[in-house]
Chains A and B, each alone.
Chain A
Amino acid sequence: MANIARIARRTFLIGAGAVAAGLAVGTYLYKREGANPLLKNLPDGAATLNPYVRIDASGITLITPRADKGQGAYSVQAALIAEELDLAWGEFKVDPGPPDNVYYNGALMGEIVFPIAATSDSFIARTARGMGDVMGKMLNLQLTGGSSTVPDAFDKLRVAGAVARQMLLAAAAQQTGVAVAQLKTADGHVLTPDGKRIPYTALAAAAGKLKAPSEVTLKPASEWRLLGKPLRRLDIVPKSTGTAVYGIDLRMPDMVYATVRTNPRRDGGMKRFDAKKAEAAKGVLKVVAINGGVGVIANNTWRAFQAANLLEIEWGPAPYPASSEAMFKQGSESFTAERQDSRHKDEGNVEAALKAADPKNVLQAEYRVPYLAHAPLEPMNAVVLLKDGRLDIWTGTQIPGFAVIGAAAVAGLSEDKVHMHVQIMGGSFGRRLEDDYLRQAVELAKVHQGVPIKMTWTREEDMTHDYPRPIVMSRARGLVGAGQVQAYDLSVAAASVGVSQMGRQNIPTPGPDLTIVAGAWDQPFAIPNYRVTGYRMPAMVPVSSWRSVGASANGFLHDCFLDELILAAGADPLAERIRLCSHEPSRRVLKAVGELSGWGTPLPKGRGRGVAFTLSFGVPTAEVVEVTATPKGIRIDKAFVVAEVGQVLDPVNIEAQMTGGMIWGLSHAMMSELTYADGAPEQTNFHNYPSIRMVQVPQIVAKALQNTGVGHIKGIGEPPVPPAAPALANAIFAATGQRIRELPLRKHIEFV
């Protein structure tokens, strides 16, 4: 069967530029470059038609390289391929595939690197997004994040399915003598006019010998069988029966179990440790020093945890201010010319407008938000096996390519000796964009070779060793007059997530950090005098991307003060946002959330509605929250979320992402924060880092709009998060008259 592998050594990559050029005529050209990584370990009897389709006698495997951390990425990627390949839903396997440059993310960088407003469709905007595609490729950016899976995959994976289908049709034509034009496909078979059904599996070997077509025509949306229809997630049965296997569940012969302890003052290092008691504990095989801490290898995870509790360790001090108070002081000193990072929005003349104004019409306020842990329910873990100069890794990761580079460096191996097997994740919310836990596991593998090691963090290790969402502060000024908002000057200060996160992967991030002002600088409001300035706090606690990143904080900072201005002007919160809105799709989102929520219908005393809007990741999203001020505290009664995504691919899953994203935003706004004392987080587990529970969850109605069409298709994993906190805070003001300018809200008000 070597013949198949040789002849099938076709290369395949879709250039985004070429695809875009084909959009107008409905025909997709693609260029081929880069090798198909599936050929490297192609078993006998198997064929691959391109990097996304592998077929053998037992069936068809679709490669879904974006990681699934619960957002349904595997299902939507498979649906894109299966739609064009004409597969029956679920009659195939999915596999995340190997880390490889061919799977680079072309949609991410264009959105986060250049200050191009998502509302802009200009030539420069499109060019910048195209440059982002090139950057993604050059950086070998196989990354799941930035709500980019769908916009990145929408054309690529449909083309991959269509190309594979064409090759299978051509093989069937050769075999049967029937012209391709007379053949049809359905449910993984080629159908001949005389009623024969030839399975793809029987055609794959022959198809692999054929030249791939240089252009394919994609189905119009009106002919879709799968996309746009309610789909059953591929993982729903395993996840509903306890049979889904996460990284933490893996079992292998001779496997041993491990945990680690490192300094909760991150990067503070270890001065000394005494392992005598731990080494004597039941089941312990080895106690070893690792970078900045200690690892315990045992014959059971719990025994490793118990032994780790017996370690006597002296930690070094934190290399950053030791308390939350000191860190916020650093933040409050960051609104200076020296620390100015960006001013991408500067319309009208804010300074002149404020100077000329009657002081009684000028508002000022300061807002702040805390550090937040990702705290996915599956604590960080990895299984590693170092044997005979080969390292195998089984773990959930959003960055398989970077993780291999990091693991190879720790192991002292070349990258081709490292084999990554990406696992499904029990949540992530951005946590697994980091690979610190994996590097620790590889350190253990170096000193305990030949058997698989499952390294699991305790919840306490997970909570106190996150790379959290940074603290953010804002200072805002504004002017109202004639019943309208006349000026809005927002200054936002935060440490750079980009520098911290990318720095750990040795990727330089020069210039301003767009995440400092994300969700604030590019909001589609035509306020006559409107300015947004970013200031860079010094690096303190190392930080990372937390579901919706910069917009997670800035949605609150930007929208709540806008709400203050609108109310000071005497205007209706929804009507004035709609009047100010300069972007038609965003205006429709605001109007839709008003209709959905019954905005304007009277509420009894003690109840209130709040509306908020954030455009993030290219998705205009508006939310309304309705609360009651009960004698015991605030109760959230109802919630509504509307977003414009261009095209819904799965109505069932998008509802889950929209309601789940809003609940995530509400939960942290209500009750969550990481505070620091003596350089370490004071929160250690879910008893002091609480999360919303069923009794507090309101009824939520979600509606996805598709007015902008398939050409503007967007991802929905993050955009519902940013407006949740301001919608809730604005509702609390409406119900109580109490304006809360700090998260979590429970520092100032009770919730029931």
Chain B
Amino acid sequence: MKLTVNGKDHVLDIEPEMPLLWVLRDELGITGPKFGCGMAQCGACTVHVNGTAVRSCSIPVGTVQGPVTTIEGIGRPDALHAVQRAWIDHQVAQCGYCQSGQMMTAAAFLASEPNPSDEQIDQAMSGNLCRCGTYPRIRLAVKAAAAHLKGA
């Protein structure tokens, strides 16, 4: 089985029913996507497949068609994605465990909706849980990232 993650090709000998999340975490050592619930309820495992945000905990790796991008693939500490930059500027994270998934949802959302209303932001981000309650800063950071992406 072939899988492209963050621009790198991998050949895997693995059962196709294994969820993408566990292939990323335990087989490839890519730990930015987090395990939170295992049933697409919390969004901590969110990654992009073909640019679309998906819950990697609930997608069998055998059904993945197209390149996978994780939080490590959209930007790095020395080359930040606009969403990551906004998350840093607004100091969004508390425990931080949900934030990879939050940022991946936000990045995919802003790619499809560059001029989001407040209501659209709230709706788009409501699939991702944050137990620390960082939601107000997530809201601000998504708006800041949208402004930055438009200006860029």
Contact = CB atoms under 8 A, between A and B. Distances in A.
Interface string A240-269: 111111101101000001000000000000
Interface in B115-133: 121-123, 125-133
Contacts of B72: 241-243
A366 to B, nearest CB: 30
Interface string B122-147: 11011111111111111100000000
A697 B136 CA distance: 8
A427 B95 CA distance: 5
Contacts of A376: 95, 97, 131
A691 interface: yes
Interface in A349-383: 375-379
A426 B31 contact: no
A237 B135 CA distance: 18
A379 B93 contact: no
B88 interface: yes
B38 A459 contact: yes
Contact of A694 (B27, B76, B95, B139): B139
Contact of B131 (A249, A301, A427, A694): A427
Contact of A656 (B33, B129, B137): B137
Nearest to B98: A377
A242 to B, nearest CB: 3
Contacts of B96: 70, 235, 238-240, 244, 426
Contacts of A700: 136
Given A241-B77, A243-B72, A302 B95 contact: no
Contacts of A429: 131
Contact of B126 (A460, A685, A695): A695
Contacts of B31: 242, 245, 248-249, 251
A699 B122 CA distance: 12
A248 B38 contact: no
B149 to A, nearest CB: 16
A659 interface: yes
Interface in B16-45: 18-19, 21-22, 25-27, 29, 31-39, 41-42, 44
Interface core residue of A251, A301, A697 (most chain B CB under 10 Å): A697
Contact of A242 (B21, B32, B136): B32
Contacts of B76: 241, 243
B93 A240 contact: yes
Nearest to A427: B95
Among A233, A302, A659, residue most surrounded by chain B Cβ atoms (within 10 Å): A302
Nearest to B119: A695
B122 A694 contact: yes
B113 interface: no
A54 interface: no
A659 B37 contact: no
Contact of B94 (A72, A662, A667): A72
A233 B91 contact: yes
B95 A377 contact: yes
B5 to A, nearest CB: 13
Interface string B86-123: 01100111111111100100000000000000000111
Given A379-B35, A659-B136, 11 more contacts: A70-B96, A240-B92, A241-B76, A425-B95, A426-B98, A459-B39, A656-B137, A657-B94, A694-B123, A694-B135, A695-B122
14 contacts: A236-B91, A240-B92, A243-B32, A243-B76, A246-B34, A249-B25, A251-B29, A282-B15, A301-B22, A305-B38, A660-B94, A660-B134, A685-B39, A697-B136
Interface of A: 69-72, 232-233, 235-246, 248-249, 251, 257, 282, 300-303, 305, 375-379, 424-429, 456, 458-460, 652-653, 656-657, 659-664, 667, 685-687, 691-695, 697, 699-700
